[in-house]
Chain A
Amino acid sequence: DAGVIQSPRHEVTEMGQEVTLRCKPISGHDYLFWYRQTMMRGLELLIYFNNNVPIDDSGMPEDRFSAKMPNASFSTLKIQPSEPRDSAVYFCASRWGRERPQHFGDGTRLSIL
């Protein structure tokens, strides 16, 4: 039973570069979430989708961040241009239905130099 798959696991890039994080949710799950985790701010919800439609993106820090879900099995989170303060671990999670636990991927550790 494959869980949520994120790629890459680690990304190191220079400030100003475009960064694309990828997520494959668990098959059959209809909710997908993107989170950012830092020591200072903990786990922050950035955006979530229901049936591939973005529902709430109020957690997206600024216009440099964008997320898409072109189909039920794939989502991307893009940062353009990237800045050092974007350095964090980014998690994708999926869930089936409401009032269910979320299933998290192992995250992408992003370092912007």
Chain B
Amino acid sequence: GESVGLHLPTLSVQEGDNSIINCAYSNSASDYFIWYKQESGKGPQFIIDIRSNMDKRQGQRVTVLLNKTVKHLSLQIAATQPGDSAVYFCEVGTGGFKTIFGAGTRLFVKA
């Protein structure tokens, strides 16, 4: 069946280091991918997205990589800061609407 999963439910990094959060999906027809950040007491907030015709997209301190061959998506955060501590979700869209959210990865940033 269709699924979206995360390799690491919890990630702890030192302030200033780079963080990598991973997401695997199962439907090869998936064509739109989004990363969200959820801070305590708030709803998920959009970080960055990528479509299936791309394999990399960069934002401010964040990069999303898409490997369609192995159906894997990653979010890289450069120079991780304490304010990056949150839960990160991937959302995988297929065929224009149907989407699935991953379970989430909690990122801890150690000062």
Q: Is the interface of B mostly helix, strand, loop or mixed?
A: strand
Bound CA–CA A36/B98 (angstroms)? 17
Report whether B51 and A99 are in contact in the complex, using a CB–CB cutoff of 8 Å: yes
Bound CA–CA A106/B24 (angstroms)? 27
Report whether A101 and B42 are in contact in the complex, using a CB–CB cutoff of 8 Å: no
Known contacts A42-B104, A43-B89, A105 near B43 by CB under 8 Å: yes
Task: Sort chain B's interface into a size bin.
Answer: 20 to 34
Report whether B43 and A91 are in contact in the complex, using a CB–CB cutoff of 8 Å: yes
Bound CA–CA A98/B49 (angstroms)? 13
**Can you list, as one digit per residue, whether each of B21-51 has a CB less than 8 Å from chain A (1) or not (0)?**
0000000000110101000011111100101
- A-side interface residues toward B, CB under 8 Å? 4, 42-43, 45, 91, 93, 98-99, 101-107
Jot down 5 A-B pairs with beta carbons below 8 A, ordered by A: A93-B43, A101-B36, A104-B42, A104-B45, A105-B43
